[in-house]
Structure 1
Amino acid sequence: MIVATQRDRAWTPGTSDMQRPVQLVGFACALAAGLAAGAARAAGDSSTSFSAEIGLGAEYDSNVSVDELDASSNQGDYAGTLDAELKLKHEFNPKLDTSLTYNFSETAYEEFDFLDRQTHLLGLDFAGDLGPVTSGLTLHYINARLDGEDFLEYYRASPYASGFLAKKWFLRGAYVYSDKSVEQNPGRDSLGHAGELDVYFFRRGLRSYFNVGYKYKHEDAEADRYDYTSSDVKVRYVHRWDVLQKPLKFELGWRYEYRDYSSVTPSIGEERLDKRQRWKTSLDYPVFTKGNIELYGGYADYDSNYPSADYEQYVVGTRVSYSW
């Protein structure tokens, strides 16, 4: 069963809890705005563009779950999905640009309607081309709701650098600071620090390429039993074929996460250890002038000595989108 206790529901965040992410994001936004203003003064030509996308789909989930709460139903359900993205991009000059993005997504289940999820994401990216290296800063704010009630708030700030090592080899590295709060369980509120490294090999440009990545993360939660460090490895392959003079995109990805908790979990009397494998695949094909249809599937195998976090799951679905 997926439930929240009365103690959890009665909790309200303290002043310091609310001010910490606001101060962080405020400082980062001020820094990005200052850099952008300086770039604008130095730039001769600038341009602004707008893009949008909306998607509608349906999927089957074999094990409806809430990953952030280590809760699974062990039952399957059908769901309708809706998503939208709005993006505003401004180029100060050919070497400096910034973009503001808003994403909305909603999943509505047929039977598990009390787990209907709605997510809002606001993102800001500022990037500068320094010749062989592109560096920048990304900021994200995420607000998620379950069954119309507050569920999750997440703040993320990430400076990054990227560039080509050779003609076909591309490297990207980033540091990620995160601040997470979970309304249903304040013990899971946490601060996170992570380092990420991604390598791309463009076999045939964007028509065919590989991506291998590694992430190391430390998460410090309010309750010691949720503190952990993790190592995350991912492998991804993307290939495009011409079918009826249109590109059919195929993607296959695998991710493995080793999560080591640093304190004893009382219910099992030992330190928790999770080993998580996830597979994802998709086919994407253009329809009409600005539309796409996607078929996707995924499989997850969560191996843990904590019973409620030990389960298997697969998801299959389809999505139709329109962009302009």
Structure 2
Amino acid sequence: MKKFTVARLLVCSTFFVPASAIAQDGFSLELEAGTIYDSQLVVDEIDVEQAEGDVAFRFGADVEYQPVDTDSFELEFGYDFGQSVYLDFDEFNLQSHVADVNASTRIGGARVGARYAFSHFRLGGDGLFDMHTVTPSVSGFVADGLFARAFYTYNDKDFATLDGRDATGNQVGASLFKFFADNAGFVSISGRWEDEDTVDPQFDYSGFVVGADLRVPIAGGRDGPRLQFGVDYRDRDYDSITPSIGEIRTEDRFRGDVELTVPISERFSVEVGYRYTDRNSNLPSADYTENRLNAGILFEL
């Protein structure tokens, strides 16, 4: 019940903002269409994998509306849709719907905010799980060109059929960004601790994730082509014996990716990327290496 109360508070807070603060043009739209080749089809949330490659078409839309945007208060509503369609293994077709509301205010030199999101995922045309997420955060510049953010996240997952995987989770994390090239590029480091408590004890875990990203403008500053590199390492410790292997599950994962974005007009951009994943586990369905290539076009309004 508390998570719905938070959402109502964020929405109702609009009525306490003067009418002069209401934005005249607060809409933004982003559309994406592309192709993916994946050497290993996986659904991490339910430990399902297919050790064969396939090609998928990817479609996405992201709509945001910011009715209030002032120095003292910001309010934003968003909706994000994603759909992958595989040529051969349609049971891995993943559809996502995420609706969220973000509110923030400035206290001194820091931005204090909260986000509520409701997510609905479908796999192979059937419902997979729903998730409610609440994330308070604090962020701000701590030095010239140096931006920091800290957050706490609570989530509640409700699976359509796999009731044993229903879970509540907690995460605490922080990230640090150093901007350069007139803020067109940055280097960042991040980390978070996470814990998930599931109905079936075999899926309970705690762990951490650490990562780093680098964005390099190639030419033209913020509006020109850019390269982005990312790496992260994840480690999880499970609490109970997994019956299928007769022992406590162990797992770690390394992932690296690179993406090139090339604007071709004021509204259109082309994106090409590669991702490598090495996941190590004593659970066979969670032990794999993956190579993923993607290419697509992005429209922004």
TM norm structure 1: 0.89
Report the equivalent of 2:212. 235
Identity %: 26
Superposition deviation, residue 244 in structure 1: 11
Superposition deviation, residue 45 in structure 1: 3.5
Alpha-carbon distance in structure 2 between the residues aligned to 1:134 and 1:45: 18
Report the equivalent of 1:135. 112
After superposition, the CA RMSD in angstroms is: 1.7
Report the equivalent of 2:39. 62
Report the equivalent of 2:260. 283
Q: What CA deviation, in whole Å up to 9, does each residue of 1:157-198 have, x standing for no partner?
A: 000000111112111000100001222421111000110111
SS in 1 for 2:10: helix
Please list, as runs of the form range in 1=range in 2, the aligned pairs for 1:283-302 lying within 5 A after superposition: 283-302=260-279
Report the equivalent of 1:96. 73
SS in 2 for 1:171: strand
SS in 2 for 1:33: helix
Please list, as runs of the form range in 1=range in 2, the aligned pairs for 1:97-246 lying within 5 A after superposition: 97-242=74-219
Match for 2:4 among 20, 26, 32? 26
In the alignment, is the contact (CA less than 8 A) between 1:228 and 1:262 conserved in 2? yes
Which ranges of structure 2 fall in alignment gaps of 5 or more residues?
Answer: none
Alpha-carbon distance in structure 2 between the residues aligned to 1:245 and 1:164: 19
In the alignment, is the contact (CA less than 8 A) between 1:142 and 1:153 conserved in 2? yes
Structure 1 residues 90 and 244, CA gap change in structure 2 (3 angstroms): closer
Indicate whether 1:266 and 2:227 are aligned: no
SS in 2 for 1:206: coil
Paired residue total? 300
Which of 84-93 and 276-285 deviates more?
84-93
Match for 2:285 among 308, 311, 314? 308
In the alignment, is the contact (CA less than 8 A) between 2:226 and 2:261 conserved in 1? yes
Report the equivalent of 1:252. 229
Alpha-carbon distance in structure 2 between the residues aligned to 1:187 and 1:119: 22
Please list, as runs of the form range in 1=range in 2, the aligned pairs for 1:36-51 lying within 5 A after superposition: 36-38=14-16, 40-41=17-18, 44-48=20-24, 49-51=26-28
SS in 2 for 1:165: strand
In the alignment, is the contact (CA less than 8 A) between 2:182 and 2:221 conserved in 1? no
Alpha-carbon distance in structure 2 between the residues aligned to 1:222 and 1:80: 35
Which ranges of structure 1 fall in alignment gaps of 5 or more residues?
Answer: 1-22
Alpha-carbon distance in structure 1 between the residues aligned to 2:43 and 2:69: 42
SS in 1 for 2:266: coil
Alpha-carbon distance in structure 2 between the residues aligned to 1:80 and 1:189: 30
